[in-house]
Structures are given as structure tokens and as C-alpha cells.
Amino acid sequence: MGSLAKQSATASAVSLDEIRSYWDRQPCNIKHSPRRVGTKEYFDEVEARRYLVEPHIPRFAQFERWAGKRVLEIGCGIATDGVNFARAGALYTAVDLSPASLQIAKRRFAVYGLKGRFLEGNAERLGEIVGAGGFDLIYSFGVIHCTPDQRAVVAEARKLIAAEGELRIMVYARNSWKAIMIEAGLDQPEAQGGCPLATLYTPEMVGELFAGLFALAAIEQTHIFPYAIEPYRRHEYVLEPWFAAMPQEMLKALSRRLGWHYLIVGRPI
């Protein structure tokens, strides 16, 4: 049994209800602004904070590239990336398990006068939820590792993608600074505690995830979160002293080997 299969066997003990309830309690990035949730000022601050602390996202998503193209996002959360796909002119569809997240995502699109299709459901049964395929891009940032049958999500994505389309996903890296801190009891996978499932990947596991479905076109490791947590919660950006003392080039080199995020591009076989 391969390493991904072993992880899937363990993950199968986690129910979708647990996962849904977890993300309904605190949708991803919901605390990125202290302003009233649902206002334009709130959404503007959420976006600014997300891309300040994760500047690799716009580079990876390549929002402008998908103008006029069909984009499907698996796990949109509160739709920070979704808004940027739609602004750039993409024909945007989103699927999420969390109704609380979808409610905010829909509000966000309404605030900015953008069009999108939002569907609630389990990405392991993506085709049943979405219907017709032919998507030029299927995108999922930090989501697939949180569902029990991760291979099923990728298999469903394969059914829905256009012949010349791309799958762009981010999953968490096992060989990472953050994983070391988690194992030492000094960190946790998500901002809120008690995350029911977050599979950590090796490159070999990525190969198993894609096998027979997508050719691996690119994989990049990046992102070490450098800020002290307590000031960060107050929206103050204070580097941890060991990162403050580190030249930026050194931190970048460390991120390439010990980053928390694998940025992965696949093309359908």
C-alpha cells in the first residue's frame, strides 16, 4: 500500500460532517479584517492581508491568463481568489462543502458586482455537483488535503477538465518548517485549532495523487510564515527574531526546501 493510500485509510475515519462543521465555525481567512464581515472595506482588507502574507498566490493562480476561460475552483472559501479570477474576466464556478463560506463568497461577488456560480457539495462527487465539464482551469488552493478521499477529487477533476486544460492545486508539504513545528507541539495546521484533517504531502504522494490522471507539469515548494503570531492576530506584522535576522535570500532558499506549500500544476493525460 502506497503512502497516499495509507493516509487515505486513516483519513476515511474523518466524516464530512466534521470537516463541514469545522469550516462553518471559522471560514478560512475570516479574521483577516476586524471590519464588519460583508462590507466592501472588510473584503478589501481580507484581500490585502491574504496576498501580503502569501504573495505567491497571484503568481501561481495567474488570474489574468484566464480571461474569457472557464474556471472551476474546488473549495472557494470566502472567494478571495475567486473575486480575482472573475475580475480578470474568467467564467467562474466554485464548489465548497461549507455553506457558511459560500454565503460570504456570494455576498462578496454581489458587493463587487461580479458574476459567478456557487455550488455547495462534496468535491469527491464533483461531477454530480457541477454537471458539464470542459473547464480550462481547475484550481484548488489548500483544500484537497482536507477531504477524506483526495484521489477521488482529482479523478473527478479529470472528468471535468478540457483536453488542453490545467489543474493547479496547493497541498501542504510534509518536509517543511511548519510540519516540524507541529510535531514539536509549537504550531497547528490551520489558524483555528482542532482541524479534523490536513494530509501532509511528499513529492511521491503527489505522484500517486496524479497517477494515470494528470501529468505533473510543475511542482514548487514555498512559503514559510515569518510573523510572530500574537502581533499578527492584532494585524501587526512583526517578524520572528530568527527570521528578522535572516537575509531575505536565505529565507527564500529555506522556503524552497522547507516551505509549507507545494504549488502543483497538472495536465490531463
pLDDT tens string 94-104: 999 999 999 99
The reported pLDDT for the residue numbered 5 is: 79
- Judged by average pLDDT, the poorest of 9-18, 114-123, 160-169 is 9-18
C-alpha cell at 79: 472567494
Buried (b) or exposed (e) across 97-108, using 16+ Cβ within 10 A?
Answer: bbebbbbbbbbb
Query: What one-letter code names the amino acid at 67?
Result: A
Pick the CATH number of 3-222+261-268 from 3.40.30.10, 3.40.50.150, 1.10.10.10, 3.40.50.2300: 3.40.50.150
Long-range CB contacts (< 8 A, 24+ apart) of 149-152?
A: 149/8, 149/11, 149/12, 149/124, 150/4, 150/7, 150/8, 150/11, 150/199, 150/209, 151/4, 151/8, 151/208, 151/209, 152/124, 152/125
- The pLDDT confidence band at residue 211, using thresholds 50, 70 and 90, is very high
User: Cβ distance 102 to 118 under 8 Å?
Assistant: yes
Determine the Cα–Cα distance for residues 103 and 45; give it in Å rounded to an integer. 18
- What is this structure's pTM? 0.96
Query: What one-letter code names the amino acid at 97?
Result: L
- Helix, strand, coil share (%) of the chain residues, nearest 5: 45, 20, 35
Chain center to CA of 181? 21
The reported pLDDT for the residue numbered 10 is: 76
Determine the Cα–Cα distance for residues 178 and 198; give it in Å rounded to an integer. 13
- Taking the CB of residue 235, how many other CB atoms lie within 10 A of it? 12
Domain parsing of the chain, residue ranges? 3-222+261-268
Mean pLDDT of 59-66: 98
Mean pLDDT of 51-67: 98
Query: Pick the residue with more confidence: 35 or 1?
Result: 35
Question: 3-class SS at 62?
Answer: coil
Determine the Cα–Cα distance for residues 168 and 61; give it in Å rounded to an integer. 8
The beta strand positions in the chain, using DSSP E, are 70-74, 91-96, 117-120, 135-141, 161-173, 200-201, 214-222, 261-268
Q: Is it the case that residue 72 has pLDDT exceeding 80?
A: yes
Share of the chain above pLDDT 70, in %: 99
Judge residue 129's burial from the number of C-beta atoms within 10 Å of its C-beta, 0-12 exposed, 13-18 middle, 19 or more buried.
Answer: middle
The reported pLDDT for the residue numbered 258 is: 98
Determine the Cα–Cα distance for residues 95 and 103; give it in Å rounded to an integer. 12
User: Cβ distance 166 to 137 under 8 Å?
Assistant: yes
Determine the Cα–Cα distance for residues 205 and 209; give it in Å rounded to an integer. 6
Q: Is it the case that residue 1 has pLDDT exceeding 70?
A: no
